[in-house]
Amino acid sequence: MNEKDRIINDLVIANRILANENVVDAYGHISIRNPENPNTFFLARSLAPELVTADDIVELDLDGNPVNEESRSLYLERFIHAAILKARPEVLSTVHAHAEDILPYGIANGTPLRPVIHSGSFIGSNVPVWDIADKFGDTNLLVSNMDQADDLAKTLADNNVALMRGHGFASAAKSLIEAVRMAVYLPRNARALSAALQLGGDVKSLSQGEIDARNRGYKPYSPETWRAWEYWATKCGCNHMLVKGDDDSK
Ligand code: MN
């Protein structure tokens, strides 16, 4: 299997994992930069992630336009991926989803989403909130052009996750496995934080040192990381599709 086919195979697995882990439903998507051309990326056509196969993957440029002629419908919000991958050359994979547990933190002023459990460390210490109304007024809340997506990417800046007010989140990661892992643990961290806030009193977040310690020396194909990928892929019926890469080809 060549590198491009392997990336597309892994992107299909990632779609199925995010559906099975309830990060996405009919909506939400994950992308991966083309390893052979940093100016394009792969994303499914407009389809529920649960149903995505390799034939559904489309190559897009960093303005969100399909590289090859494409008659099938594309995700309206594909610009989110284009803008983040354009603004962040080190980022290889991005996710946009509407996971319910994170939504309160995009609408409750003054209660930031922050990492409070060890697996939440991947979201980073700062999770900015982007409000589409700040610059674009009354819209249907969907990021449907590059202007809006560029503005979202600007708010994301060099953070791993940005919340989108009344909508969902956008995240950026240095590998596909990291993007999936963060998308799976982001709602779990939000649930733990919400439960702790309901108990009342002060909530202790992870320290910057703890966040740094968790993220130091990360390798996508280390035994610890592969264990999670293998587990999630098997749970969603994709164990027959598993192909182990090496750490030079994330
Ligand atoms: Mn959306």
pTM: 0.96
How far apart are the CA of 96 and the centre of ligand 1, in A? 7
66 token code pair: 């399909």
How far apart are the CA of 38 and the centre of ligand 1, in A? 24
Listed in sequence order, the DSSP H helices in 29-145 are 79-87, 104-107, 132-136
Cβ atoms within 10 Å, residue 61: 16
pLDDT (tens digit per residue) in 63-91? 999 999 999 999 999 999 999 999 999 99
Between 216 and 239, where is the model more confident? 239
Rounded to an integer, the average pLDDT of 119-140 is 96
pLDDT (tens digit per residue) in 182-227? 999 999 999 999 999 999 989 999 999 999 988 787 777 888 889 9
How far apart are the CA of 57 and the centre of ligand 1, in A? 19
How far apart are the CA of 33 and the centre of ligand 1, in A? 20
3 is catalytic: no
**Considering only CA atoms, which of 247, 185, 178 is closest in space to residue 14?**
178
In the three-class reduction of DSSP (H, G, I as helix; E, B as strand; rest coil), residue 233 is classed as helix
In the three-class reduction of DSSP (H, G, I as helix; E, B as strand; rest coil), residue 33 is classed as strand
The highest-level CATH class for domain 3-218 is alpha beta
Catalytic residue among 3, 59, 69, 77: 77
